[in-house]
Structure formats: C-alpha cells, structure tokens
Amino acid sequence: MDFQKLYDGAVDFIWAVGPKLILAIIVLVAGLWIIKFLSRGAQKALSKAEVDPSLSRFMLSLINLGLRLLLFISVAGMVGIATTSFVAVLGAVGLAVGFALQGSLANFAGGVLILLFKPFKVDEVIEAQGFLGKVHAIQIFNTILKTFDNKTIIIPNGALSNGSIMNFSTENQRRVDMKFGIGYGDDIKKAKEILTDLISNDPRVLREPAPMIVVSELGESSVNFAVRAWVEAADYWPLYFDMQEKVKMTFDEKGISIPFPQRDVHVYQAK
C-alpha cells in the first residue's frame, strides 16, 4: 500500500472539502442561533396578539421545524450533497399527504383562522351551519357548541370558517322586535297607549335608543303593531317572553281583541 498516495489524496480532499465544511458548520451554528432568535420573536408576537395558547405552541413548532429543515438542506448543499432529488421526494410526499388529508387540512386551516381572527370566543352564543348554541370549545379541527336544551353539536372548522356566522354576544345591547295584532274593530289609539305603557314601565327597557311602537301592517285578519325596544343582551329573552304574557293579559282586561286568522265565506244560491 502506497501511504504517500493516501496521504496526498487525504490532503487534497481536505483542501478541497475543508473550507466548504468549515463554512457549512459556521452557517449551521449561525442559522440555529438565528432560528432561536426568530422563534422567540414569533412567540412574543403571538403572545401580544393574544393568540390561543394551543395554536401558539403548534405554530411555533411548525415554524421551528420548517426553518430547521430549510437550514439543513442549505448546509447539505454547501458541502456538495445533492439535494435536488431529496427536495423532489419531499415535495411528492407532501403532495400525496395533502391529497389524502385535504378534508382534515381544510378543517385545520379553518381552526387556525378562527383562533387567529376570533369571530367568536368560548361562552359566546352563535348561530352557524343551521345550529344555535353557546360555544363550549374551539379545537384545531372542530368547534363544539352546547345548545340550550343541552345537546352537543360538533361543527368542522373548515365549513365553519367558510360560512356565515351570527354572533349574539359581541354587543352589550340588543333590540327586541315584537309583533302584536288587534282586530279591525278595536281602538288603535287605545292599543298603542297600552303597548307604550307596558314598554315604558319596564325597567329593563333602555331609554336610549328610544323604543318604537308603530302600526306596521294592515293584515288579512288584524292590524299589526311593531314594537321595538332596546335592552341589555342578558335581558333579551326575559323581556320578550314577559311581554307576550303581559300584552295578552292587558288586552283582555281592556277589551282589546287579538284576532286569529279568519275568512268570510259567502254562499250564493244558484237559480
């Protein structure tokens, strides 16, 4: 064995690869330090934006993993390792996984959007995808609602983030819209005075914006009043249900009728 040739080959290899290897090590160390610095910055930004903790941890892990993968591929290319085929295989695998899990990925993306932009929060009442209930939990893939009769509704976040959402809890005040009908033979002014007294004497009704009581429709069987009153959000349903009972009882006491749908039928005797 010719040791001189081995020695010369080793020296040539070191001179050829050594600078690249040293530069790659420097880039690797510096890159890991930069990734650590960026991760801390991202963590502070997510914390300042009040992003959900579970989403924050997941996003930080994803960012850290992606940056490290890019760094290692770059370092491997610097020392002469062919990375083109590796990147191609990685892309093909990612594409296949994406097609296989496209439904789950859509739900995941929807969960990220919901947790980032917060169209609703836990314990708020929403109506979405045909369901009405209080938000019990917001998960990465699903949102869980509790209906008022204590049913559990699980809605995929993909459909939820792409559909219409009605949030009943974002505003502190809400307007109660009610409709009451009287007979055509009843006194309109008297009925309006009764409705005005009932609304004005209820302490839950706000003075500003002022309530509105008007004749809204001349129906087939009744003259209909539209009653609109502003209340605190928590008083919406209590006021609505109380008014149904109070209006019926007061109308009965004051001789105001609440007609039911009826039709006049005329029968003609053919000669």
* Interstrand relation of 223-232 and 152-156 (parallel, antiparallel or unpaired): unpaired
Q: Give the pLDDT confidence score for residue 95 in this predicted structure.
A: 63
37 domain residue, yes or no: yes
Residues 130, 59 within the same domain: no
271 domain residue, yes or no: no
Burial class of residue 61, CB neighbours in 10 A (0-12, 13-18, 19+): exposed
pTM assigned to the model: 0.61
Domain count along the chain: 3
183 domain residue, yes or no: yes
Q: Is residue 189 helix, strand or coil?
A: helix
178 domain residue, yes or no: yes
Residues 154, 210 within the same domain: no
User: 147, 167, 187 — which closes off a domain?
Assistant: 167
Q: Give the pLDDT confidence score for residue 82 in this predicted structure.
A: 64
Q: Give the pLDDT confidence score for residue 65 in this predicted structure.
A: 76
The CATH number of whichever domain residue 217 belongs to comes to: 3.30.70.100
Residues 160, 185 within the same domain: no
What is the distance between the alpha carbons of residues 2 and 203, in angstroms, rounded to a whole number? 105
Residues 45, 17 within the same domain: yes
My answer on whether omega of the bond before 259 falls inside 30° of 0, hence cis, is no
Residues 160, 194 within the same domain: no
Residue-wise pLDDT tens digits, 107-131: 888 888 887 788 888 889 999 989 9
Contact 168, 233 (CB under 8 A): yes
Mean pLDDT of the chain, nearest integer: 82
Residues 14, 37 within the same domain: yes
Residues 36, 93 within the same domain: yes
Most confident segment among 4-8, 30-34, 240-244: 240-244
| Confidence grade of residue 7 (pLDDT, cut at 50, 70, 90) | low
Residue-wise pLDDT tens digits, 49-107: 666 666 666 677 777 877 887 888 777 777 666 666 666 666 766 666 565 555 677 88
Residues 18, 91 within the same domain: yes
The CATH number of whichever domain residue 40 belongs to comes to: 1.10.287.1260
- Report percent pLDDT > 70 for the chain: 78
Residues 56, 92 within the same domain: yes
The CATH number of whichever domain residue 160 belongs to comes to: 2.30.30.60
Residues 31, 45 within the same domain: yes
Residue-wise pLDDT tens digits, 185-197: 999 999 999 999 9
Structural domain containing residue 151: 119-167
The secondary structure of 68-132 as a DSSP string is: HHHHHHHHHHHTT---HHHHHHHHHHHHHHHHHTHHHHHHHHHHHHHHHH-SS-TT-EEEETTEE
| Confidence grade of residue 216 (pLDDT, cut at 50, 70, 90) | very high
What is the distance between the alpha carbons of residues 41 and 71, in angstroms, rounded to a whole number? 18
Most confident segment among 5-14, 100-109, 195-204, 259-268: 195-204
pLDDT above 60 for 28: yes
Which of these, 194, 57, 35, 43, lies nearest to 112 by C-alpha position? Answer: 57
Residues 40, 86 within the same domain: yes
Residue-wise pLDDT tens digits, 137-170: 888 888 999 998 999 999 998 888 888 999 988 8
112 domain residue, yes or no: no
261 domain residue, yes or no: no
Residues 125, 187 within the same domain: no
CB-side exposure of 167: number of CA atoms within 13 Å?
14
138 domain residue, yes or no: yes
Higher pLDDT, 262 or 76: 76
Q: Residue 124: what are its φ and ψ, rounded to 5°?
A: -90, 150
Can you tell me which residue has the tokens 């809400």?
A: 174
263 domain residue, yes or no: no
Q: Give the pLDDT confidence score for residue 243 in this predicted structure.
A: 96
